[in-house]
Amino acid sequence: MSIELTFSGPYALVTLNRPEALNALQFAMIEALADALDRVANSDARALIVTGAGLKSFCAGADIKELMDRDLMSQRRGAQLGQRTFAKLAALPIPSVAVLHGYAFGGGLELAMACTFRIATEKARMGLPEIKLGLIPGYGGTQRLPRLIGEARANEMVMSGRTIDATEAERWGLVNRIVQAGDPVELGKSFMAEFIGYSKCASLFAREAVQRGMATTLAEGLDIEADLSTLAYRTADAAEGMRAFIEKRTPEFKDG
Ligand code: DAK
C-alpha cells in the first residue's frame, strides 16, 4: 500500500510510501489517505505524525504522469478530492505534524500545510512549482499558504515556483521548527510530545478557536473564542486542572 497507517502508543503514523517516485501523490493514494484519516479520527490516538518513506523526499507533489491528458470534469473532481481530503486532515480532532526531511513540493507541501504543524530538517526543500508546469496549486495551496505566511510571500512562492530551504521556511513561518536530521517518526514524536499531555478537549477547543477564527472576521472569531472557552470551562478536566493548581499537585486529565 502506498499509504500506511500504524499506531505507536499515543501516536498515529501515516507514511506516504512510494519512494521510487519520491512519494508523488496518485489519486488512489489521496483516497487511501482519506480512509486512513477516518480511522485516525475514530482511534484513541492523541496526535498524528505524517512522514514520507525514503531518504530524499516527503512528497514531490501530485503525480505529474497521472495528471496528464485528463478531461476538465475529471480534473475538477480530482481537485475536489484533494481539497476534501486535506480539509479532513486539517479538521482532525487531534493535532498533526508533517515531518519534512527532503522535498515537499506542490501537492506534498499542500498536504503538509493542512497539518497543524510542520517541522523540517536542514535538507528539506519546499515549493509550489505548479506554475512551471503551466498549472496552479489545486489542493488548497493558494488558500492555506497566504494564511500561513502572508499574501506577499505566498504570491512570491506561487507565482515564481521558487524552491525555498528550511531556514527561509522557518523565517517565513511556513515551518514551526528546524530539527536535526534523524528518523522522521522519532522527530515527529519528540516534537508532538509537548502537546499530548493535556486534556484532549482543551487541546481541541484551542485549535478549533484558532482555526475557525482564521477563516472569519475578528469580531466573529472573538465570539467563537467566548463560546469555546466557556465550553472548556465546563469540562471536568478544567475543574481538575484548577483544583490541582490550588492543591499544588500535577493534574490528572481524563479527556472529559
Ligand atoms: N510526479 C510523478 N513522478 C515524479 C514526481 C511527480 N511529481 N516527482 C518525481 N517523480 C519521479 C521521477 O519521474 C523519477 O521517476 P523515474 O524517472 O525514475 O521513473 C523519480 O520520481 C525520481 O525523480 P528524479 O529522478 O527527478 O529525482 P531528482 O532527485 O533528480 O529530482 C525533484 C527530484 C523533486 C527535484 C524532481 O523529481 C522534480 O522536480 N519533481 C517534480 C516536482 C513537481 O513539479 N511537483 C509539483 C507537481 S504539480 C490539480 C491541479 C494541480 C495539481 C494537482 C491537481 N487538479 C486540478 C486536480 C498540481 C499539483 C502538483 O503537485
| Average pLDDT of the residues in 159-165 | 98
| 239 pLDDT tier (thresholds 50, 70, 90) | very high
* Substitution site in 64, 69, 123 for ligand 1 pocket (most atoms within 8 Å of beta carbon): 64
Tell me the per-residue pLDDT of 39-64, one tens digit each, with 9 for 90 and over.
Answer: 999 999 999 999 999 999 999 999 99
Confidence of residue 191 (pLDDT cuts 50, 70, 90): very high
Residue nearest to atom 38 of ligand 1 (CA): 60
Helix ranges, 91-215 (H): 107-114, 141-149, 151-160, 166-172, 184-192, 200-214
* Run of H or E residues at 246: helix 236-246
Can you read off the three cell numbers belonging to residue 247? 492543591
**Contact indicator for 5, 36 with CB cutoff of 8 Å:** yes
For residue 138 and ligand 1, the question of a CB distance below 6 A is answered with yes
User: How far are the Cα atoms of 64, 129, 144 from residue 106, in angstroms, in the given order?
Assistant: 10, 6, 13
Give distance in angstroms: CA of 224 to centre of ligand 1: 41
Note the pLDDT tens digit of each residue in 58-110. 999 999 999 999 999 999 999 999 999 999 999 999 999 999 999 999 999 99
Q: Provide the pLDDT for residue 240.
A: 98
| Residue indicated by cell numbers 536542514 | 122
Residue 60 Cβ contacting ligand 1 at under 6 Å = yes
- Residue with the smallest CA separation from ligand 1 atom 51 is 138
Q: State residue 144's pLDDT score.
A: 97
* pLDDT category of residue 1 using cuts at 50, 70 and 90: confident
Q: Is residue 130 among the annotated active site residues?
A: yes
Biggest CA–CA distance in the chain, Å, is: 67
CA 62 to ligand 1 centroid distance, Å? 7
CA distances from 66 to 57, 138, 140, 151 (A): 19, 14, 19, 30
163-172: pLDDT as tens digits: 999 999 999 9
